[in-house]
Amino acid sequence: MALGLPSVLPNPHPAIGELVRTRQPTFSFGFMPPKTEQGERQLWQAIRELEPLRPSFVSITYGAGGSTRDTTVAVTERVANETTLLPMAHLTAVNHSVAELRHVIGRLAGAGVSNVLAVRGDPPGDPTGEWIPHPEGVHYAEDLVRLIRRSGDFSVGVAAFPYRHPRSPDVATDTDYFVRKCRAGAEFAITQMFFDADDYLRLRDRVAAAGCDTPIVAGVMPVTRIGTIERSEQLSGAPFPVALAARFERVADDPEAVRRLGIEQTSEMCQRLLDEGVPGIHFITFNRSTATREIWQNLRVGAAT
């Protein structure tokens, strides 16, 4: 499949749901709100270095328990006002009343941000702990989707889990939860990170079998350090593939070799996904640009040969 740069869009605030359906494949980048001044400098360096690649959109995540709410909104506003990029804000329900959620939604709308990823979120401090809804909040991601859609002209996305959500008892239940989010008004989805293309393809197949045609963008992140493997289950909710872990284990004592393998493996996986017709690829950057630019270049070279 040819890899082309997204064309210049006449609408300054296009709906990502429409982009994902009509301008496939989309390419996008995910950033995290900074916690320190140094982190802020690193974030904006990454944004400026990736901006020339003309991604379809960029996302700004939301800290656990809403801990970075104001920073997330501020970064999203700045991206909207000071760059050529199309921003999408994450919004989670944890520790927020409906009134607080409406305030955040209104602030985003005031900044011209019309794309939101609705995520219920994990409990602060312990992602695997018991999830307790705010007494004046919403209980499920599908409720948050409805709230956002009722609040204005927003294009709403949701999370998808190639393995399954850690709180879902089984794959069938997880698929049902996903379809309910889509029927509540979600126009597109972005997966949690995964490291095996077959995990994504199985997710796509079972969602289609359930009668749901919501486009699912693949969320990917290269392993550039051996420690990423150890954290991957917490980050993605899925066990790291055994065969791939063995490949990394063979070069574990060579940090540069680990990084090269991570770039190579992610590039190969992305190319397979493109060949399989994935509607988009979303690069999880951790506010660094180098690995993402290398994979992007590998895909361009692959498309040209």
Alpha carbons 200 and 181: distance in angstroms, whole number: 18
Q: Is residue 43 part of a domain?
A: yes
Q: Is residue 5 part of a domain?
A: no
Q: Is residue 93 part of a domain?
A: yes
Query: Which amino acid, one-letter code, is at 243?
Result: A
Q: Is residue 281 part of a domain?
A: yes
Q: Is residue 11 part of a domain?
A: no
Q: Is residue 221 part of a domain?
A: yes
Do residues 266 and 220 lie in contact, with contact meaning Cβ atoms separated by under 8 Å? yes
Collapse the DSSP code of 124 into the 3-class scheme (helix H, G, I; strand E, B; otherwise coil) and give the result: coil
Mean pLDDT of the chain: 86
Return the pLDDT at 235.
Answer: 66
pTM: 0.89
**Mean pLDDT value across residues 229-252:** 85
**Mean pLDDT value across residues 205-233:** 91
- 25 prior amide bond cis, ω within 30: yes
Over the stretch 42-100, which tens digit does the pLDDT of each residue have?
999 999 999 999 999 999 987 654 456 678 888 988 999 999 999 999 988 877 788 88
From the number of C-beta atoms within 10 Å of its C-beta (0-12, 13-18, 19+), residue 64 rates as middle
How many domains is the chain built from? 1
Q: Which residues of 65-85 are buried (b: 16+ CB within 10 A; e: fewer)?
A: bbbbbebbbebbbebbeeeeb
Return the pLDDT at 10.
Answer: 41
Is residue 1 predicted with pLDDT exceeding 50? no
Q: Is residue 49 part of a domain?
A: yes
Do residues 192 and 162 lie in contact, with contact meaning Cβ atoms separated by under 8 Å? yes
Alpha carbons 225 and 221: distance in angstroms, whole number: 11
Q: Is residue 292 part of a domain?
A: yes
Neighbouring-strand partners of residue 191: 160
Q: Which domain holds residue 209?
A: 16-304
Do residues 140 and 100 lie in contact, with contact meaning Cβ atoms separated by under 8 Å? no
Residue among 246, 239, 244, 235 nearest 269 (CA):
244
Residue among 223, 231, 269 nearest 247 (CA):
223
CATH code for the domain of 61: 3.20.20.220
